[in-house]
Amino acid sequence: MKVSWQLGNGRHLMPVTRTRPTARLPKWIIILLCLVFVYLISAYVHPPRWYAEDWMPPVARELSDEELVAHVVFRNILSMPLRQPKNPKIAFMFLTPGPLPLERLWEKFFQVLWGKISMVEAEKRLLAYALQDPDNQHFVLLSDSCIPLHDFDYVYKYLMGTNVSFIDNFFDPGPHGNGRYSEHMMPEIEHRDFKKGSQWFSMKRQHALIMMADNLYFTKFRFYCKPGFEGHNCYSYEHYLPTLFTMFDPTGIANWSLTHVDWSEGKWHPKSYLAKEVTYGLLKKLRSIDETFHVTSDEKKVETRKPCLWNGTRRPCHLFARRFLPEALNKLMHLFPNYTAI
Ligand SMILES: *[C@@H]1O[C@H](CO)[C@@H](O)[C@H](O)[C@H]1NC(C)=O
Ligand SMILES: *[C@@H]1O[C@H](CO)[C@@H](O)[C@H](O)[C@H]1NC(C)=O
Ligand SMILES: *[C@@H]1O[C@H](CO)[C@@H](O)[C@H](O)[C@H]1NC(C)=O
Ligand SMILES: *[C@@H]1O[C@H](CO)[C@@H](O)[C@H](O)[C@H]1NC(C)=O
């Protein structure tokens, strides 16, 4: 398999399995606009069933023009028949401030050498880029401290065998959850819609398109969910995707992240693993986790555990883990063939 990188000038890296430099962003915008156009005509001639049933949110208010457009475009994307590429692929997108310290481990995972390195500006930009390859069916966001917990084959089958996005999502009534909500998000985003989850997603193609198409909800977060706004620190990257997708496709997301991270120390940052902590036992333990864990940030600290159900059967939750320090690289290189062979 060949992996190459594209060169940009932002903070981020993106390897894609194959690059298609010719296609440009406006093409799919045109396609989306066409969808809206086609929809309007067909709705007029022959109103689809869901028109009356389930496409309106359960609120007794009139949608603004912008909301109406968002609802129509998102619904259309979700109901689009899936093209089955002969060679379906996964885009692995690395969000990192610089070079990839664990690069050699990832080379082992892909069993290739990296090509040119890509630096693009943001998650949306990363996705837009990866979407240009029509063969890419899943889009995985990873950080520079992530490691693979399984081999490529396992990861490929795990992702290709499911039709959901792995977007972490839970309702946290506490100060680090809905305490960050701003009334300015009304009326489009109500208090009960505001969700929380880790930013490290794996997204199916339709959801990536929705994220591209969305300007309305994204703008609400950009303006009203930011550090220091109205006396609290809101971080869009922890709220935007879980909120957007529970509003529009709640059963299309798994509600957990494929990337394991250990918050059990209760600090501002999750645990970082030093070389000496990286053992066969640790990796085996991370691979064996098969239930999700969420805890609310209020005094009650309500814990929720749910089995990770993959196509209805209980499976390991995580394909990746963070945060591993660069000094752990040699140890990981040594252990990789063993822990992925369990
Ligand atoms: C998902 O489950 C169904 C029913 O149990 C089964 O027929 C199908 O093969 C499974 N899909 C995969 C990819 O394992
Ligand atoms: C996903 O696949 C399951 C069966 O594996 C099916 O019941 C479900 O309707 C599918 N969901 C979507 C959104 O296609
Ligand atoms: C994910 O959570 C939402 C509520 O936020 C729920 O409606 C949905 O059924 C959950 N998805 C799965 C796959 O359990
Ligand atoms: C990995 O497995 C090989 C062969 O099974 C064994 O010789 C080696 O000691 C193992 N390495 C570690 C670090 O467990």
- Per-residue pLDDT of 261-304, as tens digits, reads 998 888 878 899 999 999 999 999 999 999 999 999 999 999 99
Q: Is 233 in the pocket of ligand 2 (CB under 6 A)?
A: no
Average pLDDT estimate for 75-81: 89
Q: How many CB atoms lie within 10 A of CB 75?
A: 20
Residue nearest atom 2 of ligand 4, based on CA coordinates? 338
Check: CB of residue 124 under 8 Å from CB of residue 209: no
SS (H, E, C) the chain: CCCEECCCCCCEECEECCCCCCCCHHHHHHHHHHHHHHHHHHHHHCCCHHHHCCCCCCCCCCCCHHHHHHHHHHHHHHHCCCCCCCCCEEEEEEECCCCCCCHHHHHHHHCCCCCCCCCECCHHHHHHHHHCCCCEEEEEEEECCCEECCCHHHHHHHHHCCCCEEEECECCCCCCCHHHCCHHHCCCCCHHHCCECCCCCEEEHHHHHHHHHCCHHHHHHHHHCCCCECCECCCHHHHHHHHHHHHHCHHHEEECCCEECCCCCCCCCCCCECHHHCCHHHHHHHHHCCEEEEECCCCCCCEEEEECEECCEECCCCCEECCECHHHHHHHHHHHHHHCCC
Check: CB of residue 232 under 8 Å from CB of residue 180: yes
Higher pLDDT, 90 or 307: 307
Give the distance (Å) from ligand 1 centre to CA of residue 54: 27
The whole-chain average pLDDT of the chain stands at 80
Give the ligand with the smallest distance to the CA of 313.
1
In this structure, what are the phi and psi dihedrals at residue 331, rounded to the nearest 5 degrees?
Answer: -60, -45
Higher pLDDT, 187 or 106: 187
Q: Rounded to two decimals, what is the model's pTM?
A: 0.78
Give the distance (Å) from ligand 4 centre to CA of residue 326: 22
Residue 175: asked if its preceding bond is cis (omega within 30°), the reply is no
pLDDT the model gives residue 99: 79
Q: Is 163 in the pocket of ligand 2 (CB under 6 A)?
A: yes
Mutate to test the pocket of ligand 2, among 78, 138, 163, 205 (most ligand atoms within 8 A of CB): 163
Band of residue 45 on the pLDDT scale cut at 50, 70, 90:
very low
pLDDT the model gives residue 25: 37
Higher pLDDT, 51 or 143: 143
For ligand 4, residues with CB inside 6 Å are 280, 334-335, 338
Q: How many CB atoms lie within 10 A of CB 33?
A: 13
pLDDT at 222 over 50: yes
Atom of ligand 3 nearest to the CA of 255: 1
Atom of ligand 1 nearest to the CA of 162: 13
pLDDT at 114 over 70: no
Average pLDDT estimate for 10-20: 35
Give the distance (Å) from ligand 2 centre to CA of residue 321: 27
Copy the structure tokens of residue 127: 């996705």
pLDDT the model gives residue 86: 86
Average pLDDT estimate for 307-330: 96
Q: Any idea which of 172-176, 237-241, 326-330 has the lowest mean pLDDT? A: 237-241
Residue nearest atom 1 of ligand 1, based on CA coordinates? 311
Q: Any idea which of 1-15, 93-107, 149-163 has the lowest mean pLDDT? A: 1-15
Average pLDDT estimate for 124-152: 91
